[in-house]
Amino acid sequence: MALLDSNEWQDLSGKLAAASTSVQVQELRAEWIGRRGRITLALKALSNLSPEERRQQGQVLNAAREQATRLIDERLEQLRQQEEDRQLLNERLDMTIAGVEPKVGLLHPLTRVRRLLEDLFLRMGFSLAYGPEIETTWYNFEALNIPENHPARDMQDTFFVDLPGMVLRTHTSPVQIRGMEAAAGSLPVKIIAPGRVFRRDDDATHAPMFHQIEGLVVDRGITLGDLKGTLVAMATELLGASIGTRFRPSYFPFTEPSVEMDVTCAACGGTGCRTCKGTGWVEILGSGLVHPVVLQNGGYDPQEVSGFAFGLGIERLAMRIFGLDDLRPLYQNDLEYLMAFDRYTGRPML
Amino acid sequence: MKLSHRWLARHLKEAPDPEKVALGLLQMGIEVAAVETWGEIYQEIELVEVVERLPHPHADLLSLVTVRRAPNDLVTVVTGASNGYCGDRVWYAPPGAHLPDGRVLETVTMRGIPSPGMLLSAAELGFQDTTGDLWIYHGDLPLGSRFIEEVGGTDTVYELELTPNLAVFDQSVLGIARELAAVLKLELTPLNAPLPYRKDSGLAEVKDPLACPIYGLSGFEIAGVKHSPLWMQVLLVAIGIRVIHPVVDVTNFILWDLGHPLHAFDQERVVLPIEVRKAFEGEVMTLLDGSECQLSPADLVIADQIGPIALAGIMGGQRAAISAQTRQVWLESAYFNAPEIFLSMRTHRLPTDAAVHFGKGTDPEMVPVAAQATVDILRSCGVRVNNGSSTIIGEMPIRRRISFQPDRIRSLLGVDWTNQAIIHALHGLRFEIDGDWVTIPSNRHDVSTTEDLCEEVARVIGLDMISATVPNSPNVPGSRNDEVEFQERLRDLWVESGYCEVVTRPFWAPSRDVITMSDVAATVRIKNPLRAEEEELRTSLLPHLLEVVGYNRARRDQPVAVFELAPVYERTQNHAKEPMQLAVAEILDDYPQYPKGLPEDLAIYRLKGALEWVNRRLNLGISMVTDRELPDFMHPGRSVSVLDTKNRWVGFLGELRPRVASRYHAKRIGVLSLFEVYHTQSAISGVVPSPSRYPEVIRDLSLVVPETSTVGILNGIVMDTSLSDLKSLRLIDVFSGPWGRSVTLRMVFQSNSRTLTDSEVDVQLTHLIEVLRRHGMTMRER
């Protein structure tokens, strides 16, 4: 029995390459390594040889059989792959078509800004407190040191309702009194009160209903320095470490002394522009040490404790964060507008 | 309030530059709303000399006046003025020049003769008019000088915004100068001496000394010059006040200079004695502006023996007003009780300059000072003033004193400033410290406590000098209450379910109703709504949400799925409740898109599914039933009532009637309205089962059910049969054929303790099929 020469191998390789179906390959398998295949027969014929020759030829033939098996299996795998590709390409999709996005809604931008503030103050140890929107004039005015005929009542144009002694609250400050009452003399009182407030005003920067967050801290030894420290921490957290802050004396009947906080103008970065009237600063909130009358009305002795309070407009902050110059669309609920807030807006992450 | 830098400089020995002034104002809490330069237009106005005057060839009333401009330029202009002859020096505005009234001059042709520019009268320059003719210049300026030199150069004018507390003492140039002197450590120019009032009897009587603690009246004669001095005119014009007549101009000047309003009466029209009293019921007077004022006993008036001649501290009456013919004047300088004037001002809606000063509070010590200042100015400008009789009624109030507590000031501000620094700051604002006592300046009605002093000290030393610290209260973690936490989760779940949160205003009006909610609570009405369609507070959220749907639908063909969680307002007699409601609305109409979504006809299942998901996630324990009455705007075949764990009706879900939906530009709208949101939450606490290690056995069961039956009934029967190893039950197909309604359920069996065999499952199924047969439900053949 002659050794398989290279011509015979070329014959097998050529035929495998020419085979275009697995059936043809199986035929070749039978021809070469099947029961009556050429290599199989040659192996059977070995028994006629001397042990020496049998061992030599046997090694060669077994190697040949392994190689033939490998060539055939490789070709079969190749053909199987080609057939699968053909099938899969038949179910080809136009992958340039836009995907079906998960159908989720979006929180209103004011809710997102409110939560941002709430989370920030919660981290600073403030608890949330609430009060009614239809409020008594006592809580809305008198308790806050704004008696009848006080000039400050002119500052806030009030909506009156047909319930005796009630108004739509003009600020979240009544919750200062309610919060102190709820604390019932315990210390510290450390609350923020987010909520809707109402003023009789309607233009690009004033809405008849808008949202405020009130803050109140009452304890022994609270100082104006503490107010500054707390509010600067808040501004830094909200608007970034590079934000500049400054405090100016101001006036609110329920705080004494009263101060307003400005932050560097977002539009110009502090160099002065139209938005900030050339000053480089924009007002962000009003605050001050709680007026002794207010502490008293909340059930605390101003000789024993002191406190600070602040109030900021959520809309105003939203306008700053999202770069808006008109707050009316926030209430028009045009979904195209509201859904435009789905984009990442930089810092703070909303 | 407007502030002229030039005017300010009159009160300070060394006036700081305008930038420094602005910084000082900022530190004191006085907001500068705007800064402008006054007088720039006067750069363009030239002093010229008339060299020739000829009649206009075609007009009797016009003349051709040739003037010499420096150095030797001649210009001929047409003028209608009757003065301006050779040698007169007049003010000339060349073409391109701007006038105070906004006009820009150009060359115009008047009756055939071109006239480049214009010769000006005083009124045209914005100053006190004399005859309407040209303003002849008698001063020393050389030819070609600009008018701006005559008025002392340009001026910086600040628009200040004063908070109500600062308005008590800062509504004057003196007030601002005092603030700046304190913060910038400057010296003030001393004020003039007070008027030495005589105590002539029979001139006046104060019937209400509480409302008018001090009343000064001084008489004098005026004669001679009819013009206010130019320096005073310039200051008044710079802050936008019209100059009219020396007596009027002086009182205006004093008002803004010292913050003390004065009033002048024509002596010949007053029948003495003057009475300061409350008005009688029904009394009427005609004010200076010609309006009729209906008085009441709440109003303080200045009256003579005939009747009221002024609404005290607010506005004079016409009867005794100063006129061009006035020769004898009564000058009133008084101190009124601020709240009374403020009330009258508000009642009569007369926020005059005088009223906004008296109404905030004035300085009693200014009564004689302001009166003397008036006389001084009139004298200095050549008006002959012969002092006549005068009187002052009432005593100067004693300055208030409070205790001086520097330790408390330090502890409130959180600073370690020395006593000396604190005293120095207070001194700057004219507070006097004497041991343990602080004497408050007579104009500082706003200061009465140590907290007030804190503000003063902080303003003068500067808020920037207070270090930022952190409260050293014990650290307590912040918290939200459960109800609010629940609401936030509810919002998140609806957002996750594909609904967009909206925020609507709670104002409503019945005129906006398209749907009518049954048994709504009584409404709270707004007494002063901004508009008629916002005259009450809503009792339901759904109508607002439907308006949002309609608003969006009218703009574009896009899916709309929105929700709002907000309070509504219900009244019970004289009280209001603000329960939270949830409303969801969604357009169900097919929307052209690829690939297609849920068909329009089944889209309501999306909303229903969302509620079921929310129900499970929040353990609401609500159920949905079809056997309760629904609002009549709801689709009777596609709606359910929502019940809480106690079977109370807490809302409804379903489609609007298409006829109602069409009002919002949609064919089909799905809605959910949920009241008493929080209290629907049940106390059920769930335990999460451990996963089974054994395989599932799945069986699909296709049944033919009676047309009157529902999937709900079928599910109920299956669950009631209590198959021991049934893990889940899912609807996988529903359709109707000529033989009835077919329902296919996929049932998944699984045990926690062993592998189920087919035969075990089949035994359970056989039992179930037998039970179903008794309910008229049979296996589908094919």
In tens, the pLDDT along B136-150 reads 998 899 998 999 999
Q: Are the CB atoms for B290 and B318 separated by under 8 Å?
A: yes
Flag whether residue A190 sits within 8 Å of chain B, measured between CB atoms: yes
At B148-160, the pLDDT tens digits run 999 999 999 999 9
Flag whether residue A283 sits within 8 Å of chain B, measured between CB atoms: no
Cβ-based contacts of A133 with chain B (< 8 Å): 506, 567, 569, 578
Q: How many CB atoms neighbour CB B323 within 10 A?
A: 9
C-alpha angle B339-B2-B371 in degrees, rounded to nearest 5? 60
The answer to whether the Cβ–Cβ distance between A256 and B459 falls below 8 Å is no
Segment among A330-334, B724-728, B737-741, B774-778 with least mean pLDDT: B737-741
Residue of B nearest to A229 (CA): B468
Q: Is residue A127 part of a domain?
A: yes
In terms of domains, do A194 and A52 share one? no
- Nearest of A3, A12, A7 to residue A72 by alpha carbon: A12
**Domain of A321, in residue numbers:** 109-342
Interface probe, candidates B455, B528, B562, chain A, greatest A C-beta count within 10 A: B455
Flag whether residue B167 sits within 8 Å of chain A, measured between CB atoms: yes
Question: Is the bond preceding B273 in cis, omega lying within 30 degrees of 0?
Answer: yes
Q: With a cut of 60, say whether residue A5 has pLDDT above it.
A: yes
Q: Are the CB atoms for B290 and B238 separated by under 8 Å?
A: no
Q: Mean pLDDT across chain A, nearest whole number?
A: 90
Q: In Å, what is the CA distance from B295 to each residue of B89, B274, B307?
A: 53, 18, 12
Q: Are the CB atoms for A226 and B470 separated by under 8 Å?
A: yes
Residue of B nearest to A188 (CA): B473
pLDDT band at B685 (very low <50, low <70, confident <90, very high): low
Question: Is the bond preceding A348 in cis, omega lying within 30 degrees of 0?
Answer: yes
Segment among A56-60, A112-116, B761-765 with least mean pLDDT: A56-60
Cβ-based contacts of A169 with chain B (< 8 Å): none
Say which of A105, A251, A292 has its CB closest to residue B165.
A251
Greatest Cα pair distance, chain A, in angstroms, is 130
**Check whether domain B401-463 has CATH 3.40.50.261, yes or no:** no
Flag whether residue B204 sits within 8 Å of chain A, measured between CB atoms: no
Q: Judging by DSSP bridges, how do beta strands B31-38 and B155-161 pair with one another?
A: antiparallel
Q: Which two tokens stand for residue A120?
A: 């920030």
Task: Please provide the DSSP assignment of B452-486 as one string.
Answer: HHHHHHHHHH-GGGSPP-------------HHHHH
- Nearest of B336, B287, B290, B342 to residue B316 by alpha carbon: B287
Say which of B476, B481, B526 has its CB closest to residue A161.
B526
The answer to whether the Cβ–Cβ distance between A122 and B479 falls below 8 Å is yes
In terms of domains, do A235 and A136 share one? yes
In terms of domains, do A57 and A205 share one? no
Instruction: Give Cα B176 to chain centroid, integer Å.
Output: 25
Q: Is residue A172 part of a domain?
A: yes
| pLDDT score for A2 | 47
The answer to whether the Cβ–Cβ distance between A111 and B503 falls below 8 Å is yes
In terms of domains, do A264 and A167 share one? yes
CATH class held by domain B204-393? alpha beta
| pLDDT score for B733 | 93
Residues carrying CATH 3.30.56.10, chain B: 2-39+154-184, 401-463
Gap between the Cα atoms of B308 and B315, Å rounded = 11
Percent of chain A with pLDDT over 70: 95
The answer to whether the Cβ–Cβ distance between B166 and A251 falls below 8 Å is yes
Chain B stretch 2-61, residues whose beta carbon is closer than 8 A to a beta carbon of chain A = 26-29, 31, 33-34
Interface probe, candidates B402, B454, B466, chain A, greatest A C-beta count within 10 A: B466
Kindly state the average pLDDT of the residues A190-194.
97
Q: Judging by DSSP bridges, how do beta strands B500-501 and B561-567 pair with one another?
A: parallel
Question: Is the bond preceding B142 in cis, omega lying within 30 degrees of 0?
Answer: no
Q: With a cut of 90, say whether residue A326 has pLDDT above it.
A: no
Buried-exposed string B606-643: b where 16+ CB fall within 10 A, e elsewhere = bbbebbeebbeebebbbebeeeeebbebbbeebbbbbb
Q: What architecture (CATH level 2) is domain B41-150? A: Beta Barrel (2.40)
Instruction: Give Cα B258 to chain centroid, integer Å.
Output: 29
Buried-exposed string B690-716: b where 16+ CB fall within 10 A, e elsewhere = eeeeeeebebebebbbeeebeeeebee
Helix and strand numbers, DSSP H then E, in chain A:
12, 9
Flag whether residue A336 sits within 8 Å of chain B, measured between CB atoms: yes
- Say which residues have a Cβ less than 8 Å from residue B531's Cβ, sequence separation at least 6: none
- Nearest of B69, B125, B286, B301 to residue B204 by alpha carbon: B301
Kindly state the average pLDDT of the residues B618-646.
91
A/B interface, count of CB pairs below 8 Å: 241
Q: Are the CB atoms for B114 and B108 separated by under 8 Å?
A: yes
Position B387, amino acid: N
Q: In Å, what is the CA distance from A128 to each residue of A133, A192, B473?
A: 16, 5, 17
- Nearest of B477, B666, B694 to residue B590 by alpha carbon: B666
Q: With a cut of 80, say whether residue B782 has pLDDT above it.
A: no
In terms of domains, do A82 and A115 share one? no
Kindly state the average pLDDT of the residues B494-501.
96
Question: Last residue of a domain, which of A60, A90, A120?
Answer: A90
In terms of domains, do A80 and A165 share one? no
Percent of chain B with pLDDT over 90: 73
Q: Is residue A347 part of a domain?
A: no
Flag whether residue A127 sits within 8 Å of chain B, measured between CB atoms: yes
Gap between the Cα atoms of B611 and B498, Å rounded = 12
Residue of B nearest to A251 (CA): B163
Segment among A221-230, B505-514, B673-682 with least mean pLDDT: B673-682
Say which of B413, B525, B575 has its CB closest to residue A224.
B413
In terms of domains, do A68 and A114 share one? no
Q: With a cut of 70, say whether residue B401 has pLDDT above it.
A: yes
Q: With a cut of 70, say whether residue A156 has pLDDT above it.
A: no
CA atoms within 13 A on the CB side of B246: 27
> Distance (Å) from the C-alpha of residue A349 to the closest C-alpha of chain B?
17
Percent of chain A with pLDDT over 90: 59
At B11-21, the pLDDT tens digits run 999 989 999 99
Cβ-based contacts of B481 with chain A (< 8 Å): 128
* Coil, strand or helix at B246: helix
ipTM value for the complex = 0.87
Flag whether residue A66 sits within 8 Å of chain B, measured between CB atoms: no
**Check whether domain B697-779 has CATH 3.30.70.380, yes or no:** yes
At B639-653, the pLDDT tens digits run 999 998 888 999 999
In terms of domains, do A59 and A185 share one? no
Flag whether residue A341 sits within 8 Å of chain B, measured between CB atoms: no
Cβ-based contacts of A121 with chain B (< 8 Å): 478
Q: Which two tokens stand for residue B452?
A: 């007030």
The answer to whether the Cβ–Cβ distance between B463 and A248 falls below 8 Å is yes
Question: Last residue of a domain, which of A90, A119, A151?
Answer: A90
Q: B723-727: which pairs have CB atoms within 8 A and are 24 or more residues apart? A: B723/B749, B723/B764, B723/B767, B723/B768, B724/B764, B725/B749, B725/B750, B725/B751, B725/B756, B725/B760, B725/B761, B725/B764, B726/B764, B727/B692, B727/B696
In terms of domains, do A84 and A216 share one? no
Gap between the Cα atoms of B771 and B775, Å rounded = 7
Q: What's A273's domain CATH number? A: 3.30.930.10
Q: How many CB atoms neighbour CB A8 within 10 A?
A: 16
| Residue recorded with tokens 């699984």 | B750
At B437-486, the pLDDT tens digits run 999 999 999 999 999 999 999 999 999 999 999 888 888 888 888 889 99
Chain B stretch 259-318, residues whose beta carbon is closer than 8 A to a beta carbon of chain A = none
Interface probe, candidates B165, B342, B447, B489, chain A, greatest A C-beta count within 10 A: B165
In terms of domains, do A331 and A232 share one? yes
Q: Which residues of A are annotated as a binding site for Mg(2+)?
A: 256
Torsion of CA A159, A163, A164, A165, to 10 degrees: -40
Gap between the Cα atoms of A161 and B534, Å rounded = 12
**Check whether domain B2-39+154-184 has CATH 3.40.309.10, yes or no:** no
Q: With a cut of 80, say whether residue B488 has pLDDT above it.
A: yes
Gap between the Cα atoms of B206 and B212, Å rounded = 7
Flag whether residue A337 sits within 8 Å of chain B, measured between CB atoms: no
Flag whether residue A2 sits within 8 Å of chain B, measured between CB atoms: no
Flag whether residue B111 sits within 8 Å of chain A, measured between CB atoms: no
Q: With a cut of 60, say whether residue B399 has pLDDT above it.
A: yes
- Nearest of B546, B551, B545, B505 to residue B529 by alpha carbon: B505
Taking phi over 0 as left and psi of -120 to 50 as alpha, with beta for the rest, B665 belongs to left
Q: Could you tell me the end-to-end alpha-carbon distance of chain B, in angstroms, rounded to an integer?
A: 92
Flag whether residue A202 sits within 8 Å of chain B, measured between CB atoms: yes
pLDDT band at B707 (very low <50, low <70, confident <90, very high): confident
Segment among A2-11, A92-101, A102-111 with least mean pLDDT: A2-11
CATH class held by domain B482-680? alpha beta
Kindly state the average pLDDT of the residues A86-104.
90
Interface probe, candidates A236, A254, A290, A333, chain B, greatest B C-beta count within 10 A: A333
pLDDT band at A154 (very low <50, low <70, confident <90, very high): low
Q: Which residues of B are annotated as a binding site?
A: 446, 452, 455-456
Q: Mean pLDDT across chain B, nearest whole number?
A: 91
Say which of B343, B476, B501 has its CB closest to residue A107.
B501
Kindly state the average pLDDT of the residues A9-37.
88
Q: Is residue A97 part of a domain?
A: no
Q: Are the CB atoms for B530 and B469 separated by under 8 Å?
A: no
Question: Last residue of a domain, which of A27, A59, A90?
Answer: A90
The answer to whether the Cβ–Cβ distance between B481 and A128 falls below 8 Å is yes
Residue of B nearest to A201 (CA): B530
Residues carrying CATH 3.30.70.380, chain B: 697-779
Residue of A nearest to B548 (CA): A333
Cβ-based contacts of A327 with chain B (< 8 Å): none
Q: Are the CB atoms for A115 and A109 separated by under 8 Å?
A: no
- Nearest of B194, B250, B191 to residue B225 by alpha carbon: B250
Flag whether residue B685 sits within 8 Å of chain A, measured between CB atoms: no
Q: Are the CB atoms for A128 and B478 separated by under 8 Å?
A: yes
Position B145, amino acid: S
In terms of domains, do A126 and A86 share one? no
Q: In Å, what is the CA distance from B486 to each residue of A290, B580, B618, B683?
A: 32, 12, 8, 13
Q: Is residue A22 part of a domain?
A: yes
* Domains in chain A, number: 2
Q: Is residue A163 part of a domain?
A: yes
Gap between the Cα atoms of B139 and B142, Å rounded = 9
Q: With a cut of 50, say whether residue A1 has pLDDT above it.
A: no
Say which of B469, B530, B574 has its CB closest to residue A163.
B574
Say which of B451, B551, B576 has its CB closest to residue A134.
B576
Say which of A133, A222, A334 has its CB closest to residue B578.
A133
Q: How many CB atoms neighbour CB B54 within 10 A?
A: 10
Helix and strand numbers, DSSP H then E, in chain B:
19, 39
Q: Are the CB atoms for B260 and B357 separated by under 8 Å?
A: yes
In terms of domains, do A68 and A194 share one? no
At B277-326, the pLDDT tens digits run 999 999 999 999 999 999 999 999 999 999 999 999 999 999 999 888 88
Cβ-based contacts of B567 with chain A (< 8 Å): 133
Kindly state the average pLDDT of the residues A132-156.
84
Q: Which two tokens stand for residue B559?
A: 């899916």
| B501, β-bridge pairs | B563
Flag whether residue A105 sits within 8 Å of chain B, measured between CB atoms: yes
The answer to whether the Cβ–Cβ distance between B497 and A105 falls below 8 Å is yes
Kindly state the average pLDDT of the residues B341-349.
93
DSSP category for residue B512: G
Flag whether residue A203 sits within 8 Å of chain B, measured between CB atoms: no
Q: Judging by DSSP bridges, how do beta strands B315-316 and A134-136 pair with one another?
A: unpaired
The answer to whether the Cβ–Cβ distance between A168 and B501 falls below 8 Å is no
Interface probe, candidates B23, B475, B501, B535, chain A, greatest A C-beta count within 10 A: B501
Residue of A nearest to B505 (CA): A209
Say which of A152, A228, A331 has its CB closest to residue B164.
A152
C-alpha angle B3-B7-B13 in degrees, rounded to nearest 5? 120
At A244-263, the pLDDT tens digits run 999 999 999 999 999 999 99
Q: Which residue has the higher pLDDT, B107 or A346?
A: B107
